């Protein structure tokens, strides 16, 4: 009798264990599904927030890039207009001077002694300035230790060209035909490099020097390498013209 009661009791406990196990399995599935849905919803929400932030940053970057490009375009246009205006003014001055000479020749059949003397004096002063530029160029390119240390040949070459161009445009009437021909060839080949250098100067920082601007230095170096033979012709012709002027001065003294 006792064994039957014990068996009944044990059977009751066994059935309850099965029910508890089934219930635990069911609740575990429900909780797992709910947790998965909540986690997925949170991840989707976070992704939407990140996507909105990235879209806003992209729009801001696009707007800033457009503004920067417009600023560069505006500065470049202004610089090109200034260069064009300067060249036009120089050409007009030269044309005016040539018209005066032509008018004098037509009126008097030649150049007066007084005019010739003034012309000769101005020419002497011009070639003295050209000699200073030439000697400074040779000194900085071949004798200056700082130029070699900083590899500044391109910068020296560029500044020399600018000095020659400014002086010859201003006093074009007084240089020899041979020198004008030599420099015109150099100037023609320098045109593209000048445009590229102007653009790099527009893009550079306001406090950045040519020595610090690596891109600008590369332009100067390529300019020097490509036209060095033409600059040499100009320097040689300056020397020849000075020799002729010196001979003329010695002749006048005699």
Q: What is the pLDDT along the chain (254 residues), one digit of tens a residue?
A: 555 554 555 455 555 555 655 666 666 676 777 777 777 777 877 777 877 777 777 777 777 777 777 777 777 677 778 777 877 877 777 676 666 655 555 444 455 677 778 888 899 999 999 999 999 998 888 766 544 544 678 888 999 999 999 999 999 999 999 999 999 999 999 999 999 888 887 776 555 565 557 888 888 899 999 999 999 999 999 999 999 988 887 776 65
Task: Kindly report the number of other CB atoms within 10 A of residue 227's CB atom.
Answer: 21
Q: What CA–CA distance (Å, rounded) separates 245 from 239? A: 10
Please, how many CA atoms are within 13 Å of residue 238, restricted to the half-sphere of its CB? 20
Q: What CA–CA distance (Å, rounded) separates 65 from 84? A: 29
Q: What CA–CA distance (Å, rounded) separates 78 from 198? A: 11
With vertex at residue 142, the alpha carbon angle to CA 138 and CA 145, rounded to the nearest 5 degrees, is 125
DSSP designation for 141: I
Q: What CA–CA distance (Å, rounded) separates 168 from 161? A: 10
- Give the contacts of 226 (CB within 8 A, at least 6 positions apart): 189, 193
Q: Which pTM value belongs to this model? A: 0.52
- Cβ proximity of 213 and 204 under 8 Å: yes
- Cβ proximity of 217 and 90 under 8 Å: no
With vertex at residue 124, the alpha carbon angle to CA 119 and CA 125, rounded to the nearest 5 degrees, is 100
Q: Is 109 left (phi over 0), alpha (psi -120 to 50) or beta?
A: left
């Amino acid at each position: 009798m006792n064994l039957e009661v014990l068996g009944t009791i044990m059977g009751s406990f066994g059935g309850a264990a099965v029910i508890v196990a089934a219930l635990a399995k069911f609740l575990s599935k429900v909780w797992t599904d709910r947790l998965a849905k909540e986690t997925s919803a949170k991840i989707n929400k976070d992704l939407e927030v990140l996507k909105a932030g990235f879209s806003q940053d992209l729009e801001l970057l696009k707007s800033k890039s457009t503004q920067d490009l417009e600023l560069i375009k505006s500065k470049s246009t202004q610089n090109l207009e200034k260069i064009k205006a300067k060249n036009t003014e120089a050409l007009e001055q030269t044309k005016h001077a040539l018209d005066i000479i032509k008018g004098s020749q037509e009126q008097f059949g030649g150049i007066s002694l007084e005019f010739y003397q003034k012309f000769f004096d101005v020419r002497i002063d011009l070639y003295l300035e050209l000699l200073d530029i030439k000697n400074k160029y040779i000194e900085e390119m071949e004798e200056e230790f700082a130029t070699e240390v900083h590899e500044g040949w391109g910068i020296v070459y560029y500044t020399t060209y600018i000095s020659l161009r400014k002086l010859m445009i201003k006093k074009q009437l007084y240089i020899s035909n041979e020198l004008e021909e030599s420099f015109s060839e150099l100037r023609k080949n320098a045109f593209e490099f000048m445009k590229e250098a102007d653009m790099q100067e527009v893009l550079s920082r306001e406090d950045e020097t040519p020595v610090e601007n690596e891109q600008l230095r590369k332009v100067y170096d390529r300019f020097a390498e490509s036209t060095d033979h033409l600059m040499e012709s100009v320097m040689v012709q300056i020397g020849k013209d000075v020799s002729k002027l010196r001979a003329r001065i010695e002749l006048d003294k005699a």
